[in-house]
Amino acid sequence: MNVLIVDDDSLFCWALQKELTFHHLNPYIANTGQECLRAVKNNRFDLLFLDIHLPDADGIDLLSKIRKISPGTRVVVISWDGSTRNKESAMAAGAEQFLEKPFDIGVVTRFITGAFRKDPCQRKTFRYLCNFPLRISILDPSPEEAQFNLGSMRGTAVDIGREGIRLTTDYPLRAGQGVRLRTEAEPDPFSKMIPGGVCAEVVWANARDNLSTAGLRFLAEPPRFS
């Protein structure tokens, strides 16, 4: 798999190149918009990491050109400026993910593992890394749980796909529970992937250090990806 890193930060390029090489991918580096377009025209890339602010180009404008030249290349936009406007512009231009610097290199590991996973028994649908607040309601609490106020708990969406979502919450969810998810606000473009309220089933849950992480499968119509 060929991966192109488009960024003028040499230290960042070195770190990302090292991580990609560790996963047996073939990383290439372009430090300007012109170098990026020349590379995309002359080579096939499966994945491209694109900085928004380049010395000679705006990354969002460059993304539109990349999509025309190589529509099959997955593009991850990266930037120090993770404003809602930049995220929405990147997604509208065809990016599959937006990563705000600085980010844990483990995020890249999870992304490329999911993007290039070949095992047919593993998850096939693409998932978006995200971070936006949720309201969580337990649909059918047990008698032990009924004594607590489980009608409007807070949680945070960690990643989301067409079939389900992974989230964190202070309340220890358990496998088999049915919940209703609602977006608490509209601070993030990913939040529109969940409608006014959607039901889901807890497939797995792990609790550690007073924080519960759970994977949920949507029970109703899946969210729409625009």
**Residue extents of the structural domains in the chain:** 2-115, 128-218
Q: Which pLDDT score, from 0 to 100, does residue 7 have?
A: 93
Give me the mean pLDDT over the 109-122 stretch: 56
Both tokens of residue 35?
């170098």
Pairing mode, strands 74-79 and 97-100: parallel
Measure the CA–CA gap between 105 and 10, rounded to whole angstroms. Answer: 16
Q: Are 171 and 150 in contact (CB under 8 A)?
A: yes
Measure the CA–CA gap between 87 and 97, rounded to whole angstroms. Answer: 9
Q: Which residue has the higher pLDDT, 103 or 18?
A: 18
Q: Which pLDDT score, from 0 to 100, does residue 51 have?
A: 93
Q: Which pLDDT score, from 0 to 100, does residue 116 have?
A: 57
Give me the mean pLDDT over the 84-88 stretch: 79
Indicate whether 161 pLDDT > 50.
yes
Measure the CA–CA gap between 91 and 130, rounded to whole angstroms. Answer: 13
Torsion-angle region of 209 (φ positive above 0: left; ψ -120 to 50: alpha; else: beta): left
Q: Are 54 and 32 in contact (CB under 8 A)?
A: yes
The sign one gets for the Cα dihedral 143, 149, 154, 160 is positive
The DSSP bridge partners found for residue 29 are 5
Q: Which pLDDT score, from 0 to 100, does residue 49 have?
A: 93
Fold of 2-115: Rossmann fold (3.40.50)
Q: Which pLDDT score, from 0 to 100, does residue 39 have?
A: 94
Give me the mean pLDDT over the 216-222 stretch: 72
Q: Tell whether pTM > 0.75.
A: no
Q: Which pLDDT score, from 0 to 100, does residue 174 have?
A: 83
pLDDT band at 23; cut points 50, 70, 90: confident
Indicate whether 225 pLDDT > 50.
no
Q: Which pLDDT score, from 0 to 100, does residue 224 have?
A: 43
The mean of the pLDDT values for the chain is 79
Q: Which residue has the higher pLDDT, 122 or 45?
A: 45
Q: What angle do CA 82, 88, 93 make, to 5 degrees?
A: 115
Q: Which residue has the higher pLDDT, 124 or 87?
A: 87
Q: Which pLDDT score, from 0 to 100, does residue 203 have?
A: 86
* Count of CB atoms situated within 10 Å of the CB of 207: 15
Q: Could you list the beta-strand ranges (E) of the chain.
A: 2-6, 26-30, 47-51, 53-54, 57-58, 74-79, 97-100, 128-138, 153-160, 164-169, 178-183, 198-208, 211-218
Block residue for tokens 């009608």? 151
- Give the lowest-confidence range in 143-147, 166-170, 176-180, 215-219: 143-147
Is CATH 3.30.9.10 correct for 128-218?
no
Indicate whether 119 pLDDT > 70.
no
pLDDT band at 38; cut points 50, 70, 90: very high
